[in-house]
Structure 1
Amino acid sequence: MTSLQETFKNVMAHVATPVAVATSMDGGLPVGTTVSAFLSLSMNPPMVLVSLDRGSETLELVTESRKFGLNILSSDQHSAALKFATKNGLGKFHGVRWDIDHDLPRITGAAGWVACTVERILEGGDHMIVLGTVVAAEQRDSDPLTYHRRTFGTHCALEMV
């Protein structure tokens, strides 16, 4: 018999989600983690919501610094998504091109960039929900990386007839 958690995980695998890397700084060193649970929360003021694992090093630094970046990955950045999904700590940025933007690590070539200040942090099961007020945003004309049925891909528009 399948547990509720396993069934829920399988149901959610069928929901296509965008893939981003949430980033912060540890002194002068960049840290980040792959996230698929993030979304636009408000337009006035511009706000986002991101869910971070309670044990995440990134969450600890976001909580301390009260700011974070969201690098919405491009369809050709699936290797970065896998790299930042590991528990490798500070070594995740090794070999990844990045710059500093609003005192936050910004991954080069990402489809979108959002810099935020933390408005509030809420409990959400084994994760913490970070509400961020957007202080800067920029997008590139690039297809987004998505995760669906446990594989990476991108969005493909349907032809309307």
Structure 2
Amino acid sequence: MDTGAPLPMPGTTRAAITVHWLQALLFAAATVSFALSLQSRISHGQPLLDGPTFFTWFGLVFCATFAALTTAAAIRLHRRGGRTFALVLQWILATLYGLAFVMALIVLIAQHDYIAPAITAILLALPVAALILLSRRETSRWFET
């Protein structure tokens, strides 16, 4: 029997939204880190368009784009949009997080210090956790109503 009252947000949906916000913050922090790295090169008179800085530029653009998209998705996740919206958003987020997962693997392979693998492990785990939480039945049901 449908009472017309909206379903309360399930815990898995709350957790998924929290993970999305964490992911957006990490992408924003990475963007600042890449920008500071480029600023350091400028202040030391080093070239900005040589081979070693390609990865820095790529990381800056990648992280800034993903920070914006993940923030927009996290804001939109607070609202319901029906079945079509839920499916489209889940596919968009799956694509974004798949790319983020690949990027984190590239960083893991490219880095040779001890702190990067720990940070990369977090960057690898968050997208997987978010996708698992978004694919839960109670989360999908909440978005569809």
Q: Whose relative contact order is higher, 1 or 2, with alpha carbons under 8 Å and at least 6 apart? A: 2
Task: Note whether the superposition's TM-score is higher than 0.5.
Answer: no
- Which TM-score band applies after superposition, normalised by the shorter structure? under 0.3
Give the strand-richer structure, 1 or 2.
Answer: 1
TM-score by length of 2: 0.26
Give the helix-richer structure, 1 or 2.
Answer: 2
